[in-house]
């Protein structure tokens, strides 16, 4: 069977070890040494859970299949639609709604099952230490991870988020989270600061040894954990099969996917699906005004040396796309040295470049575009006025970039836009894009948006907005390690 290898060395581990560690000891990310294959025709009459089981067993082969089946059934019973990830279609537009889980964002799809995978991996590896889930979030991962790990025996979870870098609803979802094992910390900095702080903690061998003597082992719920990435592959296969059922395509026809992304994990899952046999023609990478990925696809140079912009699509306000490291590994022919040197250049110089041949290989798979704040607002209004459909800000970025792609590439391949969050997570931005400026805040606008746009209110959302905060911890970005030490002691 294939192993999971670090992007930065020859280190090899089993699937359960890769899930448990989260990040390799050399700072690299774990990737499969080869891609399992799935015959798309074999999935034609399968349910979401059946396709999920097929994907997970192909990647996590050291887990018991019955255990995986139970994990899947438990995880997705929390979703409020039987399809888990339904597709809504309007003329030639198809939106894959990934936000029907408990926290109203696409992160739920992976983070509902990750706690089961992590605790299952610990049993396989005979780990008795308490697992500390350490996570940085730009908004959605935090709540989804907190929800998934709350009161899970044998775990603690610590989430760091940028103090002024999330929406009111995103913040409230985290600060009201209950659970004896959960900790939520706002840092004075942006998401990249939080993410770098978490990576530095993972890479500090002395600190990790200190934690081991205290009876703790670190793991991650970010998409750097392969246990987060693999469940995201599932909805690419599911949406393709549903598109065949709905007559959008015929079995075997190519499909494009447009993905609003900041950390590159969601679109990388689509790349993995293609390597497994899904007939993907083009993966369209949609960025907001923090368009470092767009510039890379244009020039072959990844350069984070630019102002950090706070936008109305905050989950994409990212300048260091961690999962891009995995793509570099695959398109470089598994060149550990190239990846390691590139990541070191990113730290020392804030940038790196790829050879022209590698850029050509990437261009065959991906197209990059970006959307301004004004274009985001206009897109939300346009789709609502045309179809009565309400998009969140991130989905609007995807829609605008998809339009640009069709115009520039003259490609009419059927396309699916990944809709990554409920409009209720960014109520003020969405409401004002459609109905104009309002003096009401995010909380007050929830009921107003529901009434005017005719979209049902998610369960417990109003109650959450009225709830008192149970977390109010702050720290400077350079103090994250000391704060974690204090929390665990």
**pLDDT tens-digit readout, 267-315:** 999 999 999 999 999 999 999 999 999 999 999 999 999 999 999 999 9
- Torsion 326-330-334-336 (CA) sign: negative
Radius of gyration of the chain (CA): 21
Tokens 């025996």 label which residue? 153
CA-closest candidate to residue 433, choices 466, 400, 457: 400
What is 38-89 written as a DSSP string? Answer: --GGGGTT--HHHHHHHHHHHH-TTS-HHHHHHHHHHHHTTSSSTTSS-EEE
Q: Which residues of 16-52 are buried (b: 16+ CB within 10 A; e: fewer)?
A: bbbbbbbbbeebbbbbbeebbebebeebeeeebbebb
The fraction of the chain above a pLDDT of 70, given in percent, is: 100
Do residues 58 and 36 make contact, with C-beta atoms less than 8 angstroms apart? Answer: yes
Do residues 50 and 61 make contact, with C-beta atoms less than 8 angstroms apart? Answer: no
Most confident range, picked from 22-26, 134-138, 167-171, 364-368: 364-368
Q: What is the pLDDT of residue 459?
A: 63
Do residues 385 and 378 make contact, with C-beta atoms less than 8 angstroms apart? Answer: no
Q: Domain-by-domain residue ranges, the chain?
A: 87-104+227-456
Q: Which of 209 and 444 is assigned the larger pLDDT?
A: 209
d(CA 458, CA 141): 19
Determine how β-strand 301-303 pairs with β-strand 216-219: unpaired
Catalytic residue, chosen from 107, 172, 199, 282, is 107
Question: Is residue 75 predicted with pLDDT exceeding 70?
Answer: yes
Q: What is the pLDDT of residue 444?
A: 87
**pLDDT tens-digit readout, 220-274:** 888 889 999 999 999 999 999 999 999 999 999 999 999 999 999 999 999 999 9
- The phi and psi torsions of 421 (rounded to 5 degrees) equal -155, 150
Q: Which residues of 192-214 are buried (b: 16+ CB within 10 A; e: fewer)?
A: bbbbbbbbebbeeeebeeebeee
Tokens 């260091």 label which residue? 320
Q: In sequence order, what are the residues at sequence separation of 6 or more whose Cβ sits closer than 8 angstroms to the Cβ of residue 42?
A: 54
- Torsion 284-290-293-294 (CA) sign: positive
Q: In sequence order, what are the residues at sequence separation of 6 or more whose Cβ sits closer than 8 angstroms to the Cβ of residue 179?
A: 146, 149, 150, 151, 157
Mean pLDDT of 58-86: 96
107 included as an active-site residue = yes
Determine how β-strand 12-13 pairs with β-strand 4-6: antiparallel
**pLDDT tens-digit readout, 336-368:** 999 999 999 999 999 999 999 999 999 999 999
Determine how β-strand 155-162 pairs with β-strand 182-188: parallel
Angle (CA) 211-197-313 rounded to 5° is 135
Tokens 């040197």 label which residue? 341
Q: In sequence order, what are the residues at sequence separation of 6 or more whose Cβ sits closer than 8 angstroms to the Cβ of residue 62?
A: 14, 15, 16, 124
Strand partners, 30: 6
CA-closest candidate to residue 253, choices 480, 145, 412, 453: 412
Q: Exposed, middle or buried: residue 295 (CB in 10 Å: 0-12, 13-18, 19+)?
A: middle
Q: In sequence order, what are the residues at sequence separation of 6 or more whose Cβ sits closer than 8 angstroms to the Cβ of residue 138?
A: 161, 162, 165, 166, 191, 262, 263, 314, 315, 316, 317, 318
Q: What is the pTM of this model?
A: 0.93
What is 224-250 written as a DSSP string? Answer: TSHHHHHHHHHHHHHHHHHHHHTTSS-
CATH for 87-104+227-456 (3.40.50.1100, 3.40.50.20, 3.40.50.300, 3.40.50.720): 3.40.50.1100
3-state secondary structure of 379: helix
């Amino acid at each position: 069977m294939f192993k999971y290898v670090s992007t930065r060395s020859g280190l090899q581990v089993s699937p359960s070890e890769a899930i448990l560690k989260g990040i390799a000891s050399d700072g690299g990310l774990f990737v499969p040494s080869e891609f399992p294959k799935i015959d798309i025709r074999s999935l034609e009459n399968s349910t979401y859970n059946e396709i999920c089981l097929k994907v997970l067993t192909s990647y996590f082969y050291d887990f018991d299949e019955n255990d995986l089946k139970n994990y899947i059934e438990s995880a997705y019973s929390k979703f409020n639609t039987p399809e888990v990830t339904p597709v809504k279609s309007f003329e030639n537009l198809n939106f894959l709604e990934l936000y029907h889980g408990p926290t109203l964002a696409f992160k739920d799809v992976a983070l509902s099952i990750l706690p089961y995978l992590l605790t299952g991996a610990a049993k396989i590896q005979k780990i008795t230490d308490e697992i500390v889930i350490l996570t940085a979030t730009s908004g959605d991962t935090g709540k989804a991870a907190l929800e998934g790990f709350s009161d899970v025996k044998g775990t603690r979870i610590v989430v760091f988020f940028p103090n002024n870098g999330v929406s009111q609803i995103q913040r409230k979802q985290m600060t009201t989270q209950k659970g004896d094992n959960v900790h939520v910390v706002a840092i004075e900095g942006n998401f990249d600061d939080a993410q770098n702080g978490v990576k530095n903690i993972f890479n500090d061998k002395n600190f990790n040894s200190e934690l081991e003597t205290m009876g703790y082992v670190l793991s991650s719920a970010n998409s750097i954990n392969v246990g987060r990435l693999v469940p995201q592959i599932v909805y690419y296969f599911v949406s393709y099969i549903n598109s065949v059922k709905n007559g959008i395509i015929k079995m075997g026809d190519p499909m494009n996917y447009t993905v609003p992304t900041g950390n590159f994990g969601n679109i990388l899952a689509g790349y993995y699906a293609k390597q497994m046999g899904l007939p993907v023609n083009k993966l369209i990478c949609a960025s907001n005004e923090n368009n470092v990925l767009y510039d890379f696809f244009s020039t072959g140079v990844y350069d984070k040396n630019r102002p950090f912009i706070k936008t109305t699509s905050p989950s994409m306000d990212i300048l260091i796309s961690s999962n891009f490291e995995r793509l570099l590994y695959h398109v470089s022919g598994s060149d550990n040295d190239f990846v390691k040197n590139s990541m070191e250049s990113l730290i020392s110089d804030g940038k790196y470049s790829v050879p022209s041949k590698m850029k050509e290989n990437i261009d065959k798979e991906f197209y990059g575009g970006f959307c301004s704040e004004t274009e985001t607002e206009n897109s939300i209004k346009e789709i609502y006025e045309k179809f009565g459909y309400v998009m969140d800000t991130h989905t609007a970025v995807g829609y605008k970039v998809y339009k640009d792609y069709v115009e520039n590439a003259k490609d009419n391949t059927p396309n699916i836009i990944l809709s990554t969050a409920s409009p209720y997570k960014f109520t003020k931005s969405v409401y004002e894009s459609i109905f104009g400026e309002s003096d009401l805040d995010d909380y007050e606008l929830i009921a107003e948006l529901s009434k005017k746009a005719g979209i049902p209110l998610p369960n417990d959302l109003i109650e959450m907005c009225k709830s008192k905060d149970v977390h109010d911890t702050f720290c400077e970005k350079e103090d994250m390690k000391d704060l974690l030490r204090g929390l665990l002691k």
